[in-house]
Structures are given as structure tokens and as C-alpha cells.
Amino acid sequence: MKYIIIFSSITYALKAKDFLLREGININTMRTPTELSSCGCGYAGIVNQSNYKRAVEIIKRERIKIKAAYAEGPFGGYVKVDY
């Protein structure tokens, strides 16, 4: 299962990517899917379920603001998750 972490800007998405890659966590950055974007733009990172908790810890440690986080639903769509 994939988890989507939404950031306030491309700069913060890439900053998160930078710190996660340094700690061996793979993350793919992309435009936030429309159904998850309240603002019509913005960037997000996708991580595997197994890395999600650690990824959030690192992102918080680096004081990078998370706007929201979602998990892919079992039957499609997204489910809001805690971060």
C-alpha cells in the first residue's frame, strides 16, 4: 500500500525528499492528486507503507510542515491517515 504525504510547496516536498533519501527511504515527489488538493496545486510525496511512520518522524524532526497524509484505499481512492 502507498501513502501520500502532502506538502505546502515544491520546496518543502523536495526538502523532505532530500532528508528521506539520506536516510535510505525512497520517496517519489509529484503533483498532489486533484481529489486531495484543496488548493488546486501543490506537491506530495509517495512512500511505501513500511516506510511511512519513519518518514513522518524524519519530516517532523526536520520541521517540514505536512499539510495532510492519505493511504490508498483497499478498493481505490484515498483514506486520510494520522501523521
Partner 1 sequence: MFIYFDNAATSYPKPDSVKKAVAKSFVFAANPGRGGHILSMHAAEVVYKCREAAAKLFNADGPECIVFTKNATEALNIAIKGLIFGGSHIVTSNLEHNSVMRPIQALGKSGVKVTRVRVSQKDHSKTALAFRNAIKPNTKLIVCSHVSNVSGLVLPIKEIGKIANEYSIPFVVDASQSAGHLEIDFKAIGASCICMPGHKGLLGPMGTGIMVIKSGLQLNTIFEGGTGTEGNRLVQPSDIPERYESGTLNYPGICGLYEGIKYVSDNLISIKEKESELKDYLLDGLQKIEGINVLVKNRELEMLPVVSFVVNDADCNEIAAALDKVGICVRSGLHCAPCAHRAMSTYKTGTVRVSLNSFNTHQQVYCFLSTLENIVKKAKKQLKK
Spatial strand order of the sheet with 66-72 comes to: 28-31, 43-48, 2-7, 66-72, 78-80
CA end-to-end span of the chain, whole Å? 16
* 8 near partner 1, judged by CB under 8 A: yes
Q: Are 6 and 42 in contact (CB under 8 A)?
A: yes
Position among 1, 21, 30, 79 found at the interface with partner 1 (CB under 8 A): 30
Q: How far is the CB of 12 from partner 1 (least distance, A)?
A: 7
Q: How far is the CB of 74 from partner 1 (least distance, A)?
A: 25
The residues that touch partner 1, with contacts defined as CB under 8 A, are 8-12, 14-15, 18, 29-31, 38-43, 65
